[in-house]
């Protein structure tokens, strides 16, 4: 399974859909009545439930930390256009004493998408672009595989993941070191699913939409975000540049999962290539200001920053992200950069999750009908911790009790993201492998229109593979069986234990092509290189 380099909201939507049905113990059941909320019937909140939920929130967080082993967590809650809760727990980096507080800056991964969609809404409000503006108007050199779709795909299409680009398109290019320009230039080689009739979560699809907006505004995306959203809201610790994150003294390190309940700070993650989709860094105090803006329909501190008509489309269902598989199952829905769902109480939920498998997990949940939002940032790899904390809090608000073991269920729902990748994962090498050719038969330079050049080198009786710009991503090729070699792929889409084959085609005693299974998993089967020298 190909993983997105930033964990998707769709996965959480599926989990919420699957886990939505619940039955409380008889002792915890309370009488519920239909409330007088605006525009729809919803279950009324129990008296004092928001204050009670906030009072219980520290215990919810501490319990999740104790059960999961995640080193650090920060949480903020907004209600009534105010930050009513903002606290940090644990440490910024395991093995060090610096504690997390409400101003600690975390990499928020795919939570960048709804934040970025809000930036787009500022430009829609100002008339610079519209959600229906074709990206070709701003990016004349950009292309998808189908010229008609290239001409007609809009900013909204890219933000709703309905252009037909496959899931995680371009992520492996980023993994091996290519920058934003290279990735976007090569999306034209990806095959397309039906236009506006499919859903596939793609970080670089969102990035295309954002680039079109920034170009139309006459600036770069990070500057646009800063000038149009972060500065007006006083989000002084927030940035869409990785270098700004590194410049923060009060920042949280990434912690990869190295065993059940065990996390270690082993990696760093520079997400600038896909900054609009996963490159924001922020604190819960800053994100509380953003939630205030969203919950107020574009108004902040009494002033209209975004016209509600420009923001509302982003907060409305634009695509079905998770079709139901049973008559009584809810569908997952996606707006423009926001997950849009429905609680069992009947209340609309605006949400998104984000994570780096290398060591970050985040979640936001907003209930507009209750004028309430919670954001949870963690410095541990995704195992459902922020989602569980937010879900339990939302349960406490709506029902006065937690409806299930959210951490256990979300942990199961997200376990697949940590499964090793590659066709040789878990396989045992043949007991009597066929002999390989002399290693010199495989050494050479290989060309691939999508991934670029690959160089196979022979040194000290071993083969080394180098891919990416300037051959910066390398792996050792170990004999497996005949002309098949094994290598350990690197990057965020290759969790620990991943193992892939490299299969050479031989003609006249020398390799003519090489297929790398790990790079061949995308729909276009793009992972074959042709030898050029």
Short-list 520, 308, 390, 528, CA closest to 12: 390
Phi, psi of 345 (to 5 degrees): -75, -10
Short-list 8, 363, 321, CA closest to 171: 8
Helix 406-414 × helix 49-68 angle, to 10°: 50
Per-position DSSP letters for 87-114, written without gaps between them: EEEEBSSTTS-PBP-TT-BEE-GGGHHH
Tell how many helices (H) and how many strands (E) occur in the chain: 15, 22
- pLDDT beneath 50, residues of the chain: 1-2, 4-32, 34, 37
E strand or H helix at 322, and its extent? Answer: strand 319-322
| H helices present in 279-342, as ranges | 284-295, 308-311
Short-list 114, 103, 39, 37, CA closest to 75: 103
Q: What does the pLDDT look like over 170-204, one tens digit per residue? A: 999 999 999 999 999 999 999 999 999 999 999 99
| H helices present in 258-307, as ranges | 275-278, 284-295
C-alpha dihedral sign at 413, 418, 420, 422: positive
What is the Cα–Cα distance from 156 to 310, expressed in whole angstroms? 12
Give the Å distances, CA to CA, from 363 to 114, 355, 390, 413: 11, 9, 7, 15
Give the Å distances, CA to CA, from 289 to 55, 75, 100, 257, 526: 21, 13, 19, 31, 43
What is the Cα–Cα distance from 114 to 315, expressed in whole angstroms? 9
Per the structure block, which two tokens stand in for 294?
């969203």
Q: What does the pLDDT look like over 504-526, one tens digit per residue? A: 999 999 999 999 999 987 666 79
Give the Å distances, CA to CA, from 327 to 114, 323, 324: 30, 11, 7
Residue 75 near residue 43 (C-beta atoms within 8 A): no
Sheet holding 82-90, edge to edge: 82-90, 72-79, 372-378, 360-367, 348-356, 339-342, 332-334, 319-322
């Amino acid at each position: 399974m190909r993983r997105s380099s930033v964990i998707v909201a769709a996965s959480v939507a599926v989990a919420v859909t699957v886990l939505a049905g619940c039955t409380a113990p008889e002792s915890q059941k309370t009488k519920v009545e239909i409330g007088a909320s605006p525009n729809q019937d919803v279950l009324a909140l129990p008296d004092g439930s928001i204050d009670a939920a906030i009072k219980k929130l520290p215990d919810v967080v501490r319990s999740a930390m104790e059960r999961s082993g995640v080193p650090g967590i920060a949480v903020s809650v907004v209600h009534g256009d105010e930050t009513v809760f903002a606290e940090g727990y644990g440490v910024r980096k395991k093995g060090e004493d610096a504690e997390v507080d409400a101003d600690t800056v975390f990499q928020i991964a795919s939570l960048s998408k709804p934040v970025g969609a809000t930036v787009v809404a500022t430009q829609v409000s100002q008339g610079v672009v519209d959600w229906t503006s074709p990206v070709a108007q701003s990016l004349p050199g950009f292309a998808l595989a189908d010229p008609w779709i290239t001409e007609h795909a809009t900013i909204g299409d890219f933000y709703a993941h309905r252009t037909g680009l496959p899931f995680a398109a371009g992520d492996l290019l980023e993994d091996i070191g290519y920058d934003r320009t290279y990735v976007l230039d090569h999306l034209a080689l990806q095959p397309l699913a039906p236009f506006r009739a499919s859903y596939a979560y793609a970080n670089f699809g969102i990035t295309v939409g954002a680039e079109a907006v920034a170009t139309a505004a006459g600036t770069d995306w990070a500057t646009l975000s800063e000038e149009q959203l972060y500065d007006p809201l006083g989000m002084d610790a927030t940035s869409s540049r990785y270098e700004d994150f590194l410049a923060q003294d009060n920042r949280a390190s990434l912690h990869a999962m190295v065993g059940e309940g065990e996390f270690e700070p082993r990696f760093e993650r520079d997400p600038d290539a896909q900054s609009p989709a996963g490159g924001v860094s922020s604190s819960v105090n800053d994100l509380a200001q953003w939630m205030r803006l969203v919950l107020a329909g574009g108004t902040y501190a009494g002033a209209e920053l975004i016209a509600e008509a420009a923001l509302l489309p982003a907060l409305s269902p634009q695509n079905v992200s998770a079709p139901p598989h049973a008559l009584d199952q809810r569908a997952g829905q996606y707006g423009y950069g926001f997950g849009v769902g429905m609680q069992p109480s009947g209340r609309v939920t605006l949400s998104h999750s984000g994570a780096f498998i290398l060591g970050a997990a985040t979640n936001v949940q907003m209930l507009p009908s209750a004028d309430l939002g919670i954001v949870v940032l963690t410095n541990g790899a995704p195992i459902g911790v922020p989602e569980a904390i937010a879900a339990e809090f939302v349960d406490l608000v709506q029902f006065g009790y937690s409806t299930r073991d959210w951490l256990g269920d979300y942990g199961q729902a997200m376990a697949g993201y940590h499964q090793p990748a590659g066709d040789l994962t878990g396989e045992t090498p043949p007991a009597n492998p066929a002999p390989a050719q002399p290693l010199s038969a495989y050494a050479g330079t290989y060309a691939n229109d999508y991934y670029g050049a690959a160089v196979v080198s022979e040194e000290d009786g071993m083969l080394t593979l180098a891919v990416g710009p300037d051959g910066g991503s390398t792996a050792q090729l170990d004999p497996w069986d005949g002309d098949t070699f094994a290598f350990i792929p690197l990057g965020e889409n290759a969790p620990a234990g991943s193992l892939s084959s490299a299969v050479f085609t031989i003609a006249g005693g020398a390799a003519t092509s090489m297929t790398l299974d790990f790079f061949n998993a995308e729909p276009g089967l793009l992972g074959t290189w042709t030898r050029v020298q």
